[in-house]
Chain A
Amino acid sequence: MRNEKSTEDVALGIRRRVFEHAMRNNGGYLSQACSAAEQLAWLYNEELKLGEPTLPMIPKPFSGVPSPSNPDYHTGAGYNGPFEPQFDRLFIAPAHYALVAYATLIEVGRMAPEGLEMFNQDGSSVEMIGAEHSPGMEVHNGTLGIGLSTASGLAYGRRLRGEAGRTWVFMSDGEVQEGQTWEAVQACAHYGIDNVLAIMDVNDQQCDGAMSSVMEVGDIRTKFLNFGATCVEIDGHDLSAMRDAVREPHAGKPLIILARTNPFQTMSILEERFPRLHYVRFKSEDERARFNTSIAADLGVKPVDYSL
């Protein structure tokens, strides 16, 4: 499935949707749209080999958690198409990027815009922290650091089954503070799991603020190399750099693409809120109005009428 929009347009569309949503709801995960829009746009619009969605364009309401008494349970993976040997899989490891991921599904025609209206509403499957049953999600990743391990297990299993499809992980740089990330990389290196690929949004931010102030992680590219991955560092807003990065030979090793990004990209006024960018909730009507005017101008749209 190839969208007819350019990837640049998809990225812009993602930011516009997240912006509009944040203005209407007096806050949201704005900075994640700034940093990650190109990565998710590139994955969905160009790189991932996915089938047609198997779930309704307008998401169904929450229909229960997995249990023996819930035989009709299914995850939200159907928005990425069916599980078939030739198709890729994608895990959104930092599940708090869900708003940005949902906006991406809409921009590439895999979910209806109405889906975003259900975001964080009681009884909705379009949850604030992406759950297994949320659109585009396949596993729970709200606990950071488990995504790459799960993907590695799936990739190893798919290799045993002779499947051609790859397993992709969208990661966040904060996850390198978790020991499990390194356990996963060493297991991939030990078993030569090279059908797992990750693109990491290296925006240097985490919940408490700049990573350097919370827990310095040093030169993560060298760390990944030393743990046995192939690792390429690029400008995370440069689509041609992504296209080149994925062509990096990585036989017998996982490929980790470090996408260095700007947490204020295309929304310069966000810098006022540094270093608390994780979830931006407006502190006053005045601030909300100023952000509305400024970001709308940056994104080339009219300010949002959030009085409705």
Chain B
Amino acid sequence: MVEMVSRPYATAFEKFAAGNPDILCLSADLTSSCEIDGFRDRHPDQFLSLGMAEQNMMSFAGGLGLAGFRPFIHTFGVFMYRRPYDQLMASIAYPRRKVRLMGFLPGVTTPGGMTHQSIEDISVMRSIPNMTILETGDATEVESICEAADSIDGPVWCRVLRGSVPRLFDTPLKVGEMRELATGDDVLVVTSGICTEEAMRARAAFAKAGLSIRHLHLHTIKPFNAQALLDHIGSVKHGVVTLENHVTEGGIGSLVAETMADAGVGKRLIRLGLKDTYAHGGSRPYLMKYYGLDASALVRGIEDLIGQSFGITEDDLSAVRFDDVHSLVKAEAL
């Protein structure tokens, strides 16, 4: 059974930031929701509450960057780019301020519906010059995200998981690398964030069915090592399936598509994720099932790519669930 880690960000951020006077912790009225309430209470000198005023917060953080500080901004991802996009551009991205944008509740990891779900943030960030993009997929990556983000000479967008997070990996997130989770030679599966756990379930089922899967997990979305991906694509017979907690336009599906097109790769690509749709409010398992972001959706995608049914059932997938303990964890509130 996979280990579940409770509030890994809370512990990791405090360990990383406490006592470093150049790091400031900024919050926009979602302090406990972003697991920095303990840090606020124990390190008030490094904490700034900037209220529900994100436009000011972004430019203010830019000013702090000008004074040599490295602000870590904490709020739900969606509130850090939709309303204050202009400020993000002019005060942070253009001048390459060392602002670390810690975006919580990526994609459908919140029951908050459209206003709370950042479903197109990667697409937006990929098109911003100077921006680095990191996404966490397990507790180990959450634990190492602060150090990874703070190693960047410029702004960094981070998709951060909170609450009870499974531990899938035993090595920290290293910027610029990709995780090679399986080295099969039939189909390449590329996933990120919470979809990687889903793919691991599907992979186990396919292994029993006799299909060999190569699986890559992307935590660094920008910059991106295109050649490494192309080498993996060259190692599989059939083609590529991507699965992401994001719209399929502009996210890792697009990233893979662009990489293949640029290199003239003639293999098939199936992009799974939110298909040109908003989501609504609901639990994570319900939303992942409803919108086709889960292991079953990946099974169907791979079957489509191969043109063959492998007879994999929901029962087969639940037999290899990595997240049995998820059901014991109280559904996350806002």
A residues with CB within 8 A of B: 65-68, 75, 132, 138-143, 145-146, 149-158, 160-161, 179-180, 183-184, 186-187, 190-191
Contact = CB atoms under 8 A, between A and B. Distances in A.
Given A66-B130, A132-B94, A140-B90, A184 B51 contact: no
A75 B62 CA distance: 15
A292 B223 CA distance: 55
Contact of A146 (B51, B59, B66, B129): B59
A145 B65 CA distance: 18
Most interface-central of B51, B63, B91, B154 (chain A CB within 10 A): B63
B285 interface: no
Contacts of A150: 59-60, 62-63, 66, 91
A157 B56 contact: no
A143 B86 contact: yes
B219 interface: no
A146 B130 contact: no
Please list the 10 inter-chain residue pairs (A to B) with the smallest Cβ-Cβ separation, ordered nearest first. Answer: A153-B63, A157-B67, A149-B59, A183-B56, A153-B60, A154-B63, A183-B53, A180-B55, A150-B63, A149-B56
15 contacts: A65-B129, A66-B130, A68-B130, A68-B153, A68-B154, A145-B55, A146-B55, A149-B59, A152-B60, A153-B59, A155-B63, A156-B48, A156-B63, A160-B69, A187-B53
A157 B66 contact: yes
Given A184-B56, A186-B56, 17 more contacts: A65-B129, A66-B95, A66-B130, A68-B130, A132-B94, A132-B95, A139-B90, A140-B90, A141-B90, A146-B86, A149-B55, A151-B63, A152-B56, A153-B63, A156-B60, A158-B67, A180-B87
A140 B66 contact: no
Contacts of B86: 143, 146
Nearest to B153: A68
B68 interface: yes
Interface string B125-165: 00001100000000000000000000001100000000000
B71 to A, nearest CB: 8
Interface in B61-108: 61-69, 86-87, 90-91, 94-96
A144 to B, nearest CB: 10
Contacts of A140: 90-91, 94-95
A68 B130 CA distance: 8
Contacts of A154: 63-64, 66-67
A153 B68 contact: no
Contact of B64 (A142, A157, A179, A180): A157
Given A140-B90, A146-B91, A187 B66 contact: no
Contacts of A191: 48
Contacts, number: 109
Contacts of B66: 138-139, 150, 153-154, 157
Given A68-B154, A187-B51, A187-B56, A157 B62 contact: no
A134 to B, nearest CB: 14
A68 B96 CA distance: 9
B94 A65 contact: yes
B50 interface: yes
B152 to A, nearest CB: 10
A9 B124 CA distance: 50
A187 B94 contact: no
A146 B90 contact: yes
Contacts of A145: 55
Most chain A CB within 10 A, of B48, B66, B95, is at B66
B87 A149 contact: yes
Nearest to B63: A153
A180 B95 contact: no
B95 A139 contact: yes
Contacts of A152: 56, 60, 63
A146 B130 CA distance: 20
Given A146-B90, A157-B63, A179 B55 contact: yes
A180 B56 contact: yes
B50 A187 contact: yes
Contacts of A153: 59-67
Nearest to B26: A153
A10 B214 CA distance: 71
A183 B60 CA distance: 10
B153 A187 contact: no
- Most B CB within 10 A of own CB, among A139, A150, A154: A150
Q: Kindly name the residue among A75, A141, A143, A146 whose own CB sees the greatest number of chain B CB atoms within 10 A.
A: A146
B90 A67 contact: no
A183 B55 CA distance: 8
Nearest to B69: A157
A156 B63 CA distance: 8
A67 B64 contact: no
A130 to B, nearest CB: 13
Interface string B212-238: 000000000000000000000000000
B60 A149 contact: yes
B67 A67 contact: no
Interface in B219-265: none
Nearest to B129: A67
A66 B283 CA distance: 42
B91 A149 contact: yes
A1 to B, nearest CB: 22
A184 B60 contact: yes
Contacts of B63: 149-157
A186 B96 contact: no
